[in-house]
Amino acid sequence: MKLETSLQKKRRSKRGGNRNTPEVESDQEDANADPDILICEVEQAIKRLRNGKSPGIDNIQAELLKESDAEGVAIIHKLCNKIWRSKEWPEDWKRAVFLPLPKKGDTKECANNRTISLISHASKVLLHIIAERIRGHPEKEGGSSREIKRRLAMARTSAIALTDIWKDRGISRTTKLNIMDALVFPIATYGSETWAIGRADRSKIQALEQWCWRKMLRISWKEHKTNEFFRSQIGDHTSLCQKIDRNKLQYFGHVSRRNGDCLEKIIVQGHVEGHRRRGRQKTRWSDGIKECTGLSLTAAYRLAQDRNSWNDIIKRVTTGQP
């Protein structure tokens, strides 16, 4: 095999090169990869560790991890992300201590003993995080609560990272509002056009929005300021729930106006034969469209064919204007 000269490489790159180059494949893998582990995920995983359990080969007790301060949690968070990105499990975490526990009868017989393995409690932190993320993937039919919770946590982390900007008195409130709309809220609403939102999910979204305004205005919850007070301070501003409703309605209109039988159109308008289970039903994506517009799905589909009429519906729903 002949080596490719630099001139040949340059000519090939101008022609577009090979579409399946390692660089392009690695970019596609990065785009499809799950996001980095959040500090809140580490905190929740540490809380789930059980007390009174024997340590692994590193002799680190679970109680010691649970008593860690913010600096200790940050170290565990950094370690978990390093392992998450490299996809290489540490050798110490692969090793376990095996202990035989005698049962009834003659302990010299293997059948009268059971063996337990002791692994590192630090590895259990990452295992809990992975288990929680795996549970969130198949949850498409039963709502979007896990994805909403994850997105809200990411937005909260982003708002905390901008604390220096919120504290800066030299930055006007209008600029801070624009920063919040550009750097924090889009993280919370990313992919929201596909969410099936229940009443509890809306409460969490509203709670995050109020927390962000408190963070930006430097107002503690101990001051007992009402939501009306924050609205007076922020002014005429579209809420997060209204933005999510707007995204869903715009997506519904876009799919409804597409020509032919595309996959998105079949999923939105498709009907599954059979009966739903007894009792209270889970919230479906189409239920959100009917709740926002006050129309049936068929009537909403017909109205969405006219872009101007549908935009009037979106304006009325998301701004409250007639």
- Single out the residue in 133, 161, 181 at which a domain terminates: 133
Residue with token string 């809990």: 128
User: What is the Cα 315 distance to its own chain's centre?
Assistant: 28
Indicate if 189 and 251 belong to the same structural domain. no
Residues of the chain falling short of pLDDT 70 = 1-34, 135-143, 270-273, 276, 320-322
Q: Name the region of 37 (left: φ>0; alpha: ψ -120 to 50; beta: rest).
A: beta
Indicate if 103 and 149 belong to the same structural domain. no
How many domains are there within the chain?
Answer: 3
What confidence score (pLDDT) does residue 33 get? 54
- Single out the residue in 113, 133, 153 at which a domain terminates: 133
Indicate if 63 and 78 belong to the same structural domain. yes
Helices (H), 239-296: 240-256, 263-269, 285-293
What confidence score (pLDDT) does residue 230 get? 81
Q: Residue 94 is encoded by which pair of tokens? A: 């692969």
Query: 301: domain range?
Result: 238-268+286-322
Instruction: Look at residue 26 and tell me if it is in a domain.
Output: no
Instruction: Look at residue 184 and tell me if it is in a domain.
Output: yes
Indicate if 168 and 209 belong to the same structural domain. yes
Q: What's the sign of the alpha-carbon dihedral 255, 260, 262, 267?
A: positive
Instruction: Look at residue 20 and tell me if it is in a domain.
Output: no
Indicate if 233 and 258 belong to the same structural domain. no
Are 319 and 242 in contact by the 8 Å Cβ rule? The answer is: yes
Indicate if 50 and 61 belong to the same structural domain. yes
Helices (H), 137-239: 145-161, 163-167, 173-183, 185-189, 199-217, 227-234
Instruction: Look at residue 78 and tell me if it is in a domain.
Output: yes
Query: Which contiguous run of DSSP H or E holds residue 253?
Result: helix 240-256
Are 211 and 279 in contact by the 8 Å Cβ rule? The answer is: no
Residue 30 to residue 36: CA distance in whole angstroms: 11
- Single out the residue in 106, 133, 160 at which a domain terminates: 133
Residue 185 to residue 293: CA distance in whole angstroms: 24
DSSP symbols for 56-125? -TT---HHHHHT--HHHHHHHHHHHHHHHHHT---HHHH--EEEEEE-SS-TTSGGGEEEEEE--HHHHH
Instruction: Look at residue 281 and tell me if it is in a domain.
Output: no
Indicate if 161 and 80 belong to the same structural domain. no
Instruction: Look at residue 313 and tell me if it is in a domain.
Output: yes
Per-residue pLDDT tens over the stretch 285-302: 888 888 888 888 888 888
What confidence score (pLDDT) does residue 136 get? 54
pTM of the model: 0.56
Indicate if 111 and 52 belong to the same structural domain. yes
Indicate if 246 and 186 belong to the same structural domain. no
Number of neighbouring beta carbons within 10 Å of residue 87 = 7
Are 58 and 91 in contact by the 8 Å Cβ rule? The answer is: no
Are 304 and 254 in contact by the 8 Å Cβ rule? The answer is: no
151 burial level (CB within 10 Å; 0-12, 13-18, 19+): buried
126 Cβ neighbours under 8 A, 6+ residues apart: 37, 45, 80, 83, 84
What confidence score (pLDDT) does residue 137 get? 52
Are 315 and 253 in contact by the 8 Å Cβ rule? The answer is: no
Strand partners, 116: 99
Instruction: Look at residue 1 and tell me if it is in a domain.
Output: no
Q: Residue 273 is encoded by which pair of tokens? A: 């034969």
Instruction: Look at residue 8 and tell me if it is in a domain.
Output: no
